[in-house]
Structure 1
Amino acid sequence: MSLALHWTWKRFDDLGVHALHDALALRCRVFIMEQGPYQDPDDADKHAWHLLGCDDAGRLMACLRVVDPGVKFAEPAIGRVVTAPEVRGQGLGRVLMQEGMARCRQAWPGRAVRISAQARLQPFYGALGFAAASAQYLEDDIPHIEMLWEPRSLP
C-alpha cells in the first residue's frame, strides 16, 4: 500500500527558497550521497515543472521534474525522480511517475516523453510504457539508457 502524499506542482520561479532547499537536499541525499558525486542542480531546473510530494507533517518525501521540450531533448523530459530512503518500497516511485506523465499529457498533449533512465531501472520504466530508445551509455559513471513513452503506450 502506498503512503499518501500531498502533491504540488511548481515552476522553478514559484518554488520559494524553502521548497527549493528541500528538493535539492532530497536529491543530494539520494543522488550524491548514495550514488556518488556529480553536478545535480543544472540549468534544466529553471525550465521545468517540479513535483513535490510531502507527508502530513510537510516533509518532502518524493519529487521529480518535468523539463520543457527543447531543453534536454526535443520532447518533454521527466527526470530527477527521487523518493526518500525511509519511504521506499511503498509504490511512491510509480505514483510519482504517473503524476509526471499526467503533467506531460496535460501540458503537451499528444507528445512523446523521453527519460534518461538508470539502466537497472529499465524494467520499472518499461512497466509504465517506456521503451528503450538508445544503447546504454555512462552518465556520471552510472549506466543509463534513453527511454521513450509514446502517447499510444497507455490508453
Structure 2
Amino acid sequence: MNWKIKKFKELSGEEMYEILKRRNEIFVVEQKCIYQDCDNKDKSAYHLFLDKNGKIIAYLRILEKGVSYNEISIGRVLVDKDYRGKGLARQMLLKVIDFIKNNLDETIIRISAQEYLTRFYKSLGFEEVSDVYLEDNIPHIEMLYKE
C-alpha cells in the first residue's frame, strides 16, 4: 500500500476514475446523499490517497486558499468501509497536516466536518468554529486547525 499525493494533472485516468468511484460509493450511495460531486474544485486540488493494488482505500482532497474558504481546506475525506477502524483516517490526516505545513507553508486549515466526526477532528487539533448546520441534509460543523 502506498500513500500518494498528486495534483489533478498528475493523476492517471485510472486514478481519477477510482477516486470518483470511491467518493460516489461512500457519499452518494452509502450516505444516501445526492449532491454534485464533480464541482470543478478537483482541477486545482491536491489529492492524497492510499492505493492498494489499484483500489483507493483512503482519500481526501486539499483545496487552496480562496477555493472554498479564505484558508486552505480539506474535504471529501473517506476510508473504504472494509478498512475503517484500522487508524487509516488518523494516519491520513496527520500526513495532510504535515504536507500543508511543510510543503504549502500554511498553518491554518478549515474543514466542514460531518458532526459525528467532531471528536475525531478535535483529537487532531481542530476546534469548532461554527454552530451545526445542514449540508446536503447531513449535520456539519466548521472546524479550524491552527498551528
* TM-score, structure 2 normalization: 0.95
User: Unaligned stretches of 5+ in structure 2?
Assistant: none
1:39 alignment counterpart: 36
2:138 alignment counterpart: 142
Normalized per residue, which structure has more strand?
A: 2
Query: How well do the aligned residues superpose, as a CA RMSD in angstroms?
Result: 1.1
2:80 alignment counterpart: 84
Distance (whole Å) between structure 1 residues aligned to residue 14 and residue 3 of structure 2: 16
The one-letter code matched in structure 1 to 2:146 is E
2:10 alignment counterpart: 14
Q: Count residues in correspondence.
A: 146
Distance (whole Å) between structure 2 residues aligned to residue 26 and residue 147 of structure 1: 24
User: Unaligned stretches of 5+ in structure 1?
Assistant: none
* TM-score, structure 1 normalization: 0.90
Distance (whole Å) between structure 2 residues aligned to residue 33 and residue 121 of structure 1: 19
**Contact 1:9 / 1:51 at 8 angstroms: preserved in 2?**
yes
Distance (whole Å) between structure 2 residues aligned to residue 137 and residue 45 of structure 1: 24
1:33 counterpart SS class: helix
1:1-155 alignment to 2 at 5 Å?
5-36=1-32, 37-55=34-52, 57-151=53-147
Q: Percent identity?
A: 39
